[in-house]
Amino acid sequence: MTTAIIVAAGSSRRMGFNKLLAQLAGEPVLRRTLGAFQKCAAIDEIIVVAGDAVRAEVESWRSQGLGKIVSIISGGAERHLSVNAGLQALNPACDIVAVHDGARPLISVEQITRCVEATRTQAAVACARPMTETLKRCDSDGRITDSIDRANAWIMETPQVFSRELLVRAYAAVIRDHLHVTDEVSAVQHLGEPVFVIENAGMNPKITFPADIVLAQRFVD
């Protein structure tokens, strides 16, 4: 069994309004995200870690075509606490876990499937895209100090997919060691375990600023 944990407990401070309920081609961002996992045959169940602002909406969607949602739980003050809460709610039969940002509504069913299938042999994978832009490092005054080699540099996206045993063990270590991690790759790397990238050729931006909605609108199917 493969379970998707959709992280949707953020405050949207940088957006100025709730980005998860913002309309994208006539559909809320989070509803569109959940729809991709609902359609994906590789996903059996969905757990939504939701903030108070979206919880009621998600509950109403369960009877409107999102029947794979089995739990809607409250998140923590930080992302890693929300993910850990989702892990505690897993079905005992679950053996693969896909963690995805609710604010990435353009993820394709095909890419979700590729990540899940890769996990069956590699145990830990992350959706990612290669860095193509020129990178520079700056000091605290904004002055460019040197260049950063982009060879073998990848931008992490979600879903990030793992064997349940590995991810639960990784988050237990994160909580035990009082770490602040911003993604599951970092949690698993804390154990010294390898994680492999699964290149995503499609658009998969995270909606963070109002302009991101305008950009995403251009790529909606």
CATH architecture of 2-215: Alpha-Beta Complex (3.90)
- For the chain, the domains span 2-215
pLDDT digits (tens, 9 = 90+) for 48-60: 999 888 999 999 9
Among candidate residues 49, 10, 2, the one with its CA nearest the CA of residue 206: 10
**What was the pLDDT predicted at 184?**
98
What is the spatial distance between Cα 52 and Cα 76, in angstroms, rounded to a whole number?
11
**What was the pLDDT predicted at 18?**
87
Please check the confidence at residue 4 and state whether its pLDDT lies above 90: yes
Distance of CA 4 to the CA centre of its chain: 9
For residue 9, give the 3-state DSSP assignment.
coil
- Which pLDDT band, with edges at 50, 70 and 90, does 13 fall under? low
What is the spatial distance between Cα 21 and Cα 12, in angstroms, rounded to a whole number?
10
Least confident span in 3-7, 37-41, 77-81, 166-170: 77-81
pLDDT digits (tens, 9 = 90+) for 120-165: 999 999 999 999 999 999 999 999 999 999 999 999 999 999 999 9
**Considering the chain, what percentage of its residues have pLDDT values greater than 70?**
96
Q: Which helix (H) or strand (E) holds 189?
A: helix 184-189
How high does pLDDT run on average in the chain?
Answer: 94
Which one-letter amino acid corresponds to residue 76?
G
